[in-house]
Amino acid sequence: MKYPPFVEDHPQIQLLKWTFWPIEFLEDCAKRYGDCFVVRFGNVKPSVFFSHPDAIAELFSSTHAEILDSGRAQPMLKMVLGKHSTILLDGQEHRRHRQLITPPLHGERMRTYGEIISQITEQVTQDWQPGKSIVLHSYLSDITFKVIVKTIFGLRETERDQSLGVAVRKFLDAFKSPLLYYLAATLPILQADLGPWSPGGNYQKQIQKLDQLMFAMIQDHRKHLNPAHIDMLTMLMLATDETGASLSDVELRDELLSLLFAGYDTSSTVTSWAFYYIHANPAVKARLLEELDRLGDNPSPSEIVKLPYLSAVCSESLRMRSAVPSSTPRINKAPICIQGYEFPPESQLVPAQHLTHHRPDLYPDPYRFNPDRFLNHPHSPSEFYPYGGGARFCAGAAFAGYQMKLIVATILPKYQLELAHPGSIKTMRRGVNIAPKGGVKMVLKQIRVPAQKKVPLGLS
């Protein structure tokens, strides 16, 4: 049986590198072992990483969907999200939940969400003045958090709603520490409740308070359910499967936490990278500003998100720095052959999107930021997959891309920002995400006055 090479470092060293230097670790492994290699993270089962688009296509193929599980490949998330999260389900239950949660993240209501995104972005940045030093990631975290809780819950300014917002953010922020990520992986006992001063005990205290507030919110929504409301919680309550059944309160709680978990820090992280790359490449910034200025005053969200160069800039930023270095792992229930390698049942198979996105055969000069790659040059789902692929393609991908474009388009034409420290920027782990170290420090030079007259795109 042909099997890919094992990374030779000690398993604990591999876990240490994966935790604190994941990009460097993956690139070093690819350089040493090629398109496919096996890593061992501490005491857990080995993981096989793939980067060749042919292998990725097989992992994403509907042909293999019935024998590839993903939910049970992510046991650490169960204590965070609950067992009814779509992220952690497999088979028919995964398909049922995905059918129910997808509609609120698409369609006509996105226009209203777009207005919310733009308004919150303007509110969070309204105190910016020339000369102000800005850690951009902090502001973007505020924006994406307020957007996600507003669109999910429809929160108002009531004391209870504000309490829920505070509890949600405290819960989500607890998972950003790379040290906690490492310790939880190496010492599972830390996940146990050993008293209020233990990490597991502190987590249980937080989750109990959050559950109390979330279930109160869910019950209140059910009591005053109004189909005219466009928040995601209302939409999820109204959604039914083919049998007419809807999500239970416990299922709603787990799905809401999943949306919060996936849509908060992930969104602020990828948008931070976009602002870094835009400002590190003056020609890109100038070209993007020209495109945005041509829209004139108060363009609609639908006009903004259709802009070709803005779309290309965001795609290239996601290629350079997806939120995570690898996509959702798969566990095969039956023997499978991928890229000439044979894998017995219960192998853990991982698409390494960072490596795929930096292959010179797919992206010439792959470490250069070049949005033109995405203009009139489509990339297959196995060549470009910042939101995963196949049956595990992120249900919120459309919303995430929509939000990213609108935040950039709201801030960039108004504020002339410069990087406080020009040059390359290092990465750091924030939970499962790979964020810019230091949060992208910028200086506001002046308030811009964009072009006021609307000119048809493509005309001078």
Sign of CA dihedral 73, 388, 403, 179: positive
Per-residue pLDDT band for 230 (boundaries 50, 70, 90) equals: confident
Counting Cβ atoms within 10 Å, is residue 227 exposed (0-12), middle (13-18) or buried (19+)? Answer: exposed
Q: How many domains does the chain have?
A: 1
Residue 63 lies in a domain: yes
Strand ordering across the sheet containing 348-351:
36-39, 47-50, 348-351, 330-332, 68-69
What's the pLDDT score for residue 204?
75
Average pLDDT over every residue of 105-129: 87
Maximum average pLDDT range among 182-191, 199-208, 300-309: 300-309
Residue 458 lies in a domain: no
Residue 176 lies in a domain: yes
Residue 456 lies in a domain: no
Phi, psi dihedral angles at 45 (to 5 degrees): -65, 150
Average pLDDT over every residue of 56-69: 91
pLDDT at 412 over 80: yes
What's the pLDDT score for residue 452?
47
- CATH code for the domain of 237: 1.10.630.10
What integer best gives the mean pLDDT of the chain? 88
Residue 302 lies in a domain: yes
pLDDT at 162 over 80: no
Alpha-carbon gap, residue 418 to 427, rounded angstroms: 19
Tokens linked to 232: 């995601």
Residue 57 lies in a domain: yes
Contacts 24+ apart (CB under 8 A), 107-110: 109/230, 109/235, 110/301, 110/398, 110/399, 110/402
Alpha-carbon gap, residue 262 to 144, rounded angstroms: 11
What's the pLDDT score for residue 214?
87
Using one digit for the tens of pLDDT, what is the confidence trace for 73-84?
Answer: 887 777 778 889
Using one digit for the tens of pLDDT, what is the confidence trace for 90-115?
Answer: 999 999 999 888 876 666 778 888 99
Domain range spanning residue 327?
Answer: 11-447
Residue 190 lies in a domain: yes
Residue 452 lies in a domain: no
Tokens linked to 138: 């902090």
> Which residue's structure tokens are 């299922």?
251
Alpha-carbon gap, residue 319 to 273, rounded angstroms: 11
Neighbours of 456 (CB within 10 A): 6
Q: At what angle do helices 22-33 and 11-20 cross, to 10 degrees?
A: 130
Average pLDDT over every residue of 373-393: 93
Neighbours of 268 (CB within 10 A): 29
pLDDT at 249 over 90: yes
Closest CA to 442 of 419, 408, 414: 419
